[in-house]
Amino acid sequence: MATVEEKAGSGGKRVSEEVLRRFFREMLLIRRFEEKVEERFRAGELPGFLHVAIGQEAVATGVCAALERDDVIASTHRAHGHAIAKGTPVERIMAELYGKVEGCSHGYGGSMHLYDVEVGNLGANAVVAGGIPGIVGSALAFQLRGEKRVGVAFFGDGATNAGTYHESMNLAQLWKVPAIFVLENNGWAESTPAQQHLPLPVDELGKRAHAYGMKLIEADGQDVEAVYLATLAAREHAVSGKGPVLVHLRTYRLTGHYIGDPQIYRDKKELKKTRETKDPIELLRARLELSDDDLASIDADVTAEVEASVEFAKAGTDPKPEDALKYVYA
Ligand SMILES: Cc1ncc(C[n+]2csc(CCOP(=O)(O)OP(=O)(O)O)c2C)c(N)n1
Ligand SMILES: [Mg+2]
């Protein structure tokens, strides 16, 4: 977990420059990883259907940095960044996307079923809002065992219209379980803009916490420091027995819903402007005043890590057809 310092004179908190640089490296690693995934998918090397979260890296990094290793997360269909930030090595994620035994789900899952229980990742999920109830269950287990751990569910604005979301929020608050609901609000559900699927303004989606009497913490999802501090506060609240928290993070999806999405439903000028003003990596780069040399050196480092992950994945082992039913419990 990163360290926080008191900001002189303000009583507020801020993160040290050293920690912010660590966050920057991880966010750039996630970005380069997903760009590589797009490239290899378009080259026909990766099976399945893939979603990247380019533009949303500050959410994954900021949230997971505020967690302890034995806290658990449940991810979504946009899962690569969450998996990297929770601690799975990129080579094991890339191997999974290539369907190899060395992958974090032994090649059985792919992009929407990335699991790594050892680092507390209870899995990505192709079912929108599908990971949320399991997190309430995990948090209930921690509460019953008296463990200082939290369960964290990532989900999007579209997921807040699903029945399981509302049932989970209700029970979590009723039982005051140590759960954190991370609303990664990018304002889109596939090609449907928020104003066509939400009965309230997109920026006010956090109000849904009030319906359950749940604590709400909001932060700018493009500001990794704000995300980190919001999650730290949420974790503190949840583990001290005060109940769950909805962490509402407004963020921006800077690419298509899925790889190959032509985005004909999106205004091109607005998308260009969003890319120019809301890129969390560019925003942090400016804040850290990174020189071109500094940036090039971090970039070379993470790019080499991503390239090595592709080599690792390509050299991996294909699963045996006779093992297809291994790990099937039902
Ligand atoms: C239960 C269910 N309904 C519909 C879908 C199809 N679907 C996949 S992603 C998506 C949009 C989800 O939007 P949001 O929760 O905001 O996540 P985002 O894609 O913006 O990250 C939908 C409707 C699905 N996978 N599961
Ligand atoms: Mg969305």
| Residues 125-140: tens digit of each pLDDT | 999 999 999 999 999 9
Residue 211's SS3 state is: helix
Sign of CA dihedral 131, 224, 97, 102: negative
Task: Quickly count: other Cβ atoms within 10 Å of residue 176's Cβ.
Answer: 15
From the alpha carbon of 51, which atom of ligand 1 is closest?
19
| Residues 251-279: tens digit of each pLDDT | 999 999 999 999 999 999 999 999 999 99
Query: Which ligand minimizes its atom distance to the CA of 153?
Result: 1
Predicted model pTM: 0.96
CA distance 144 to 241: 11
- Taking the centre of ligand 1 as the mean of its atom positions, its distance from the CA of residue 49, in whole angstroms, is 13
Residue 82 Cβ < 6 Å to ligand 1: no
Question: How deeply is 315 buried, as exposed, middle or buried, from its count of CB atoms within 10 A (0-12, 13-18, 19+)?
Answer: exposed
Nearest CA to ligand 1 atom 13: 189
- Taking the centre of ligand 2 as the mean of its atom positions, its distance from the CA of residue 55, in whole angstroms, is 12
Q: Topology of domain 13-312, per CATH? A: Rossmann fold (3.40.50)
- Taking the centre of ligand 1 as the mean of its atom positions, its distance from the CA of residue 216, in whole angstroms, is 23
Residue 252 Cβ < 6 Å to ligand 1: no
Residue 128 Cβ < 6 Å to ligand 1: yes
Q: Is residue 110 within 8 Å of 48, Cβ to Cβ?
A: yes
- Furthest C-alpha separation in the chain: 65
Residue 255 Cβ < 6 Å to ligand 1: no
Residues of the chain with pLDDT under 50: 1-3, 5-11
Query: Which ligand minimizes its atom distance to the CA of 126?
Result: 1
Domain layout of the chain by residue ranges: 13-312
Residue 215 Cβ < 6 Å to ligand 1: no
Residue 90 Cβ < 6 Å to ligand 1: no
From the alpha carbon of 257, which atom of ligand 1 is closest?
19
From the alpha carbon of 78, which atom of ligand 1 is closest?
21
From the alpha carbon of 126, which atom of ligand 1 is closest?
25
Q: In this structure, are strands 4-6 and 13-15 parallel, antiparallel, or unpaired?
A: antiparallel
Residue 191 Cβ < 6 Å to ligand 1: no
Per-residue DSSP letters for 266-301?
Answer: S-HHHHHHHHHHH-HHHHHHHHHT--HHHHHHHHHH
Residue 203's SS3 state is: helix
> Residues whose CB is under 5 A from ligand 2 (ion)?
156-158, 186, 188
CA distance 122 to 109: 13
Query: Which ligand minimizes its atom distance to the CA of 189?
Result: 1
